[in-house]
């Protein structure tokens, strides 16, 4: 690569790191435990996904416009990975990560497919103060398929950057992705409902006598009793804990220099879930998160593990 190309690539990765630092407050701390080349590659993947998520969540766009913009973003990605020049720093960095770590294009396509699943069907309008949000999935099997596209695929891309030889790592990475996504769904019930979406499966809501209209914006903002949703959130949390168990088997299968990063990432998300549980699953008030101090502490432990090769 020419000197100019090297400077452009350095700048492109810097843009991706900035996007990751600003938006991926959990992933970012785990990435810091990686060697620089792997850290940059994951930042490029995250920045690519962030652009797709931003399109999907843009309330100013109609559903058809969102789908068109996502298709255009996917096409730009294909051209960049095929070697065509691009002025987009995220795609420039992603193309380099693709060459370095043999990122499978079909996995990146599936990441886009996951964001398309979040786009409302034509004719639906954003949630108002009166409208009940839409329950998106009838049962857990349908929710798990969604989790595969938006999270398990991320796991499959990530372990290609981490490095692994045993194909048994792949289903374990998929299960870790589902654990992370279920944790996000539990934490973000209120936020998602205000955007018109309920990810809790219809079967699970009905099992505990709950309904989507209880999560309408007017209800959420007027003396909402979150305790009514505790049983269904506990159920999803138990499912997440089952999937987290895959991490223990995945850790020894990835390259040594990446194990601390995976350990930090899993611990951040698992502790987030347990903090939610400690609050009796009250996710309808202040957003539940790990403090910067807690995440820095986990990062320090992860870096110590890297130095001592104790994982």
Same domain, 156 and 74: no
What's the CA gap between 148 and 110, in Å, rounded?
Answer: 9
Same domain, 105 and 4: yes
Same domain, 175 and 228: yes
What's the CA gap between 244 and 205, in Å, rounded?
Answer: 23
Same domain, 166 and 265: yes
Predicted local confidence at residue 169, as pLDDT:
98
What's the CA gap between 97 and 72, in Å, rounded?
Answer: 21
Q: What is the pLDDT of residues 239-292, one digit of tens each?
A: 999 999 999 999 999 999 999 999 999 999 999 999 999 999 999 988 899 998
Domain boundary among 104, 124, 144: 124
Same domain, 144 and 170: yes
Predicted local confidence at residue 125, as pLDDT:
44
Same domain, 108 and 17: yes
What's the CA gap between 47 and 62, in Å, rounded?
Answer: 23
Mean pLDDT for the stretch of residues 145-155? 95
pTM > 0.95? no
Q: How confident is the model at residue 126 (pLDDT cuts 50, 70, 90)?
A: very low
Same domain, 177 and 51: no
Domain that holds residue 231: 125-311
Q: What is the pLDDT of residues 13-26, one digit of tens each?
A: 999 999 999 988 78
Same domain, 140 and 120: no
Number of domains in the chain: 2
Q: How confident is the model at residue 28 (pLDDT cuts 50, 70, 90)?
A: confident
């Amino acid at each position: 690569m020419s000197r100019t190309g090297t400077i452009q690539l350095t700048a492109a990765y810097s843009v991706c790191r900035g996007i990751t630092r600003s938006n991926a407050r959990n992933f970012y701390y785990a990435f810091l435990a990686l060697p620089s080349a792997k850290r940059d590659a994951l930042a490029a993947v995250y920045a690519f996904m962030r652009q797709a998520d931003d399109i999907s969540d843009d309330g100013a766009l109609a559903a058809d416009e969102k789908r068109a913009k996502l298709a255009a973003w996917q096409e730009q990605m294909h051209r960049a990975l095929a070697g065509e020049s691009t002025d987009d720093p995220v795609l420039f960095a992603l193309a380099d990560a693709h060459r370095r770590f043999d990122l499978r294009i079909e996995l990146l396509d599936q990441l886009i497919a996951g964001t398309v699943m979040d786009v409302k069907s034509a004719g639906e309008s954003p949630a108002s103060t009166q409208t009940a949000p839409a329950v998106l999935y009838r049962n857990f099997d349908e929710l798990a398929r969604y989790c595969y596209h938006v999270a398990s695929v991320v796991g499959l891309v990530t372990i290609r950057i981490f490095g692994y030889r045993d194909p048994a790592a792949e289903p374990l990475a998929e299960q870790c992705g589902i654990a992370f996504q279920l944790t996000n769904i539990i934490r973000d019930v209120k936020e998602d409902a205000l955007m018109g979406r309920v990810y809790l499966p219809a079967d699970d809501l009905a099992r505990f006598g709950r309904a989507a209209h209880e999560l309408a914006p007017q209800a959420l903002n007027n003396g909402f009793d979150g305790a009514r949703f505790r049983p269904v959130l506990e159920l999803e949390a138990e499912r997440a804990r089952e999937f987290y168990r895959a991490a223990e088997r995945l850790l020894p299968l990835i390259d040594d220099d990446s194990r601390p990063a995976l350990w930090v990432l899993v611990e951040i998300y698992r502790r987030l879930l347990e903090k939610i549980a400690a609050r009796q699953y009250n996710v309808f008030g202040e957003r539940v998160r790990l403090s910067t101090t807690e995440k820095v502490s986990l990062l320090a432990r992860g870096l110590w593990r890297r130095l001592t090769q104790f994982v």
